[in-house]
Amino acid sequence: MDLLEYQGKQLFARHGIPVPTGKPAATVDEAVAAADEIGYPCVVKAQVLIGGRGKAGGIKVAQNTDEARTHADAILGMDIRGHIVHQVWIEEASDIKEEYYASVVFDRSASSTLMMLSKEGGVEIEEVAERNPSAIARLHVDPLLGFQGFHGRRLAFDAGLDADLIRPVGAILAQLYEAYVAEEAMLVEVNPLVVLGDRSVKALDAKVTLDGNALYRHPDNATLRNPGAEDAQEQMAKERGLTYVKLDGDIGILGNGAGLVMSTLDVVSLAGGKPANFLDAGGGSKAEAITSAVEVILSDPKVKAVLFNIFGGITRCDEVANGLVAAFHQINPQVPFVVRLDGTNDVEGRRIVAEANLPNVETATTMLEAAEKVVALAAGAPA
Amino acid sequence: MSVIVGTETRLCTSGITGREGTFHTLNNRRYGTNVVAGVTPGKGGQDVEGIPVFDTFAKAVDETGANTAMVFVPPPFAADSILEAADAGIETIITITEGIPAHDELRVFNHLQTRHPNTRLIGPNCPGVLSPGKANVGIIPAQFFKEGNVGVVSRSGTLTYQIGNELALRGFGNSSIVGIGGDPVPGSNFIDIVALFQDDPQTELIVLSGEIGGSAEEEAAQYIKDNVTKPVVGYIAGVTAPPGKTMGHAGAIVSGSSGSAAAKIEALEGCGVRVGRTPTEVSDIAVQILGS
């Protein structure tokens, strides 16, 4: 789960990491009130989960109330590369002298925690890694040992920090690591970490990704919502406990098991089609879950045809077939379906589908055949 | 021969008295797996259709000589259960549980590596291991697979069944089918399992089924080039997955330019591994290599 900048900064503040004073706002009036309270100059920052906000005009400095109103009015509702701005963060302006980069990363390939520090902040770190890899100091922290003082000193000295900054930056690195462990984050990134005119150091941005599987231990984090980050279908699927990802095509996909569904998307694309979604109905999918999933898929108006690709293991094909039949009775879909049932109880499942004699439902015996049929149907041709 | 589970397996299920735990343990026993014990704290002394239940792994190991654990307990308790099994001296721990917090996995992985270097963890979030004709530990539907010479290692459950079924339709059987799971910190990775298949006399062809996210496939590619003499066929799911979206499995996400299917396919092919574009093409390549 990705946090918005201000949610990340509030999390930082709880762990003692210095951040500029600020307030979130969802309306122009709230934004102006927040700006008046914080004082001028202040910065109006769009809260969206995508980079390049500044270039898109989503970050503006306000010198007075009128400017705060003008900027908040322009930024709220703005579309930044497909992300609508529903909230702004009003923050005191900072007297920036230097821009650094710091991060704590859950490093899957090393099964460890990676920490990075660089004096070249304020730009994409990937760009620095490409152009000047030696500018990034990096080291792994043994998860069984945790962050030690020497880790901070090594990063700070390796990154080439001035002597007076070794101690404060080391302290912030320790706090970032502490926040990463305590909140069970997959990523904690500060870009830029700024040095101000008085040589104090602050986190001017916050990028935090939390582990969705650990949210049950963090009820406060679990309630953080990012309006606009999910579209209507994704929201609906989440409420129904389905694993759904919206894509931009017109062929609805339902399968069981993440790997098989990913493979189904690929095979449909190879057959010349464009999937509208990823939907994993999960292991042991019961009839009600299938009906519910069909509703989610069809709530996307772009969907012109639907493919069911099931290889039953724990999932039983007769359950899936019953769910499909129930869905037809309840919502009477107007688009054609292609159904491929293989694996546990497949003969029974196919019999149920055949006997229900549903309108617009084709069956297929293999994944490839099913993909070709659904692509033809979506294109308006008879399968 | 086969890998990880076989006729020498003495299985103890953690969470045996839960609904799923009972169902799959009995299923595994019906297949022929030697199930010797179960663990549920507080239910020691009971039995599940004749399988004795113990309060602790230590007791189960002492009294039954269990050497393999299957972990079925819910995510909040799974890491603890894995650590308990390792502490009791169990050397093969197969964890089916999905949804274990990543930081728990990180701590468990590093602890096992440091303190229990001979303990092999498979999973979490995996379908288990099937050695057709010998033993099944987990939830793989065994009826679709027969004994043979193809070893399969995969990050996904149902996709493994799909690929295994395509191979079966061409007449191939399997030495073992190993699901390593779709989580960010798998206990065993592709390299660990490919190395076992390389040393397994029954295995003549290795199928490696990967997906987007992480770099385990790229690392396996280099390992195969340097160490593996048996033919390997690859498959990667998620070619069309959009970046930044988690595709069902916690570990299946393309982050920036890393973890993409294209990069994995390129790495495998660059190391001499032929990669099928569809599960069907994987079996086509298997036929070309082994003959039909």
Q: Could you tell me if residue A74 is inside a domain?
A: yes
Residue of B nearest to A186 (CA): B102
Rounded to the nearest 10 degrees, the angle between the axes of helix A317-331 and helix A346-356 is 20
Q: Could you tell me if residue A5 is inside a domain?
A: no
Residues of chain B with C-beta less than 8 angstroms from the C-beta of A1: none
Fold equal for B11-122 and B145-290 = yes
For chain A, percent of residues with pLDDT exceeding 70: 97
Strand partners, A254: A308
Q: Could you tell me if residue A14 is inside a domain?
A: no
- The ranges of chain B with pLDDT < 70 are 250, 255-257, 292
Architecture category of domain B11-122 in CATH: 3-Layer(aba) Sandwich (3.40)
Same domain, A108 and A215: yes
Q: What angle do CA B89, B93, B96 make, to 5 degrees?
A: 150
The reported pLDDT for the residue numbered B244 is 79
Q: What angle do CA A90, A1, A136 make, to 5 degrees?
A: 75
Mean pLDDT across the stretch A50-70? Answer: 93
Residue of B nearest to A368 (CA): B280
Contact check, Cβ <8 Å, A263/B141: no
> Of A42, A62, A92, which one is at a domain's C-terminal end?
A92
Dihedrals φ, ψ of A348, to 5°?
Answer: -65, -45
Q: Could you tell me if residue A86 is inside a domain?
A: yes
Has residue A136 got a pLDDT over 80? Answer: yes
- As to burial, measured by CB atoms within 10 angstroms (0-12 exposed, 13-18 middle, 19+ buried), residue A251 is buried
Amino acid identity for residue B190 in this structure: F
**What b-and-e string marks burial along B209-246, b requiring 16 or more CB atoms within 10 Å of the CB?**
bbbbbbbbbbebbebbeeebebbbbbbbbbbbbeeebb
Residue of B nearest to A144 (CA): B107
Q: Which of B192, B240, B253 to mutate to test the interface with A (most CBs of A within 10 A)?
A: B240
Mean pLDDT across the stretch A212-221? Answer: 94
Which residue range(s) make up the domain with A38?
Answer: 21-92
Same domain, A120 and A77: no
Mean pLDDT across the stretch A321-349? Answer: 91
Residues of chain A with C-beta less than 8 angstroms from the C-beta of B104: 214
Q: pLDDT digits over A282-313, tens only? A: 765 677 888 889 999 999 999 999 999 999 87
Q: Could you tell me if residue A72 is inside a domain?
A: yes
Q: Could you tell me if residue A149 is inside a domain?
A: yes
Same domain, A325 and A239: yes
Same domain, A100 and A58: no
Q: How far is A369 from chain B (nearest CA, A)?
A: 11
The position carrying tokens 């030690």 is A148
Mean pLDDT across the stretch A15-40? Answer: 97
Mean pLDDT across the stretch A12-26? Answer: 97
Has residue A89 got a pLDDT over 70? Answer: yes
Q: How far is A315 from chain B (nearest CA, A)?
A: 10
The reported pLDDT for the residue numbered B214 is 87
> Of A49, A77, A92, which one is at a domain's C-terminal end?
A92
> Smallest Cα–Cα separation from B107: which of B79, B75, B72?
B79
Residues of chain B with C-beta less than 8 angstroms from the C-beta of A255: 158
Q: What is the pTM of this model?
A: 0.92
- DSSP state letters, B22-76: HHHHHHHHHHT--EEEEE-TT-TT-EETTEEEESSHHHHHHHH---EEEE-S-HH
Same domain, A55 and A104: no
Has residue A29 got a pLDDT over 60? Answer: yes
pLDDT tier at A96, thresholds 50, 70, 90: very high
Q: How far is A236 from chain B (nearest CA, A)?
A: 16
Q: How far is A244 from chain B (nearest CA, A)?
A: 8
Same domain, A261 and A354: yes
The reported pLDDT for the residue numbered A331 is 87
Same domain, A108 and A82: no
Question: Which top CATH class is B145-290?
Answer: alpha beta
Same domain, A198 and A258: no
Mean pLDDT across the stretch A165-188? Answer: 97
Q: Could you tell me if residue A6 is inside a domain?
A: no
Same domain, A341 and A306: yes
Has residue A319 got a pLDDT over 60? Answer: yes
Same domain, A25 and A123: no
Same domain, A318 and A256: yes
Count of domains for chain A: 3
Q: Could you tell me if residue A9 is inside a domain?
A: no
For chain A, the average pLDDT equals: 92
Mean pLDDT across the stretch A330-354? Answer: 92
The reported pLDDT for the residue numbered A284 is 59
> Smallest Cα–Cα separation from A364: which of A311, A328, A318?
A311
Residues of chain B with C-beta less than 8 angstroms from the C-beta of A368: 278, 280
Low-confidence winner among A53-62, A212-221, A306-315, B93-102 (lowest mean pLDDT): A306-315
Q: Which of A187, A266, A279 to mutate to test the interface with B (most CBs of B within 10 A)?
A: A266
Q: Helix, strand or coil for residue B132?
A: coil
> Of A185, A204, A222, which one is at a domain's C-terminal end?
A222
Q: pLDDT digits over B64-90, tens only? A: 999 999 999 999 999 999 999 999 999
> How do the domains of chain B map onto residue ranges?
11-122, 145-290
Kindly list the catalytic residues of A: 101, 189
Q: pLDDT digits over A235-289, tens only? A: 888 888 888 999 999 999 999 989 999 999 999 999 999 999 999 987 656 778 8
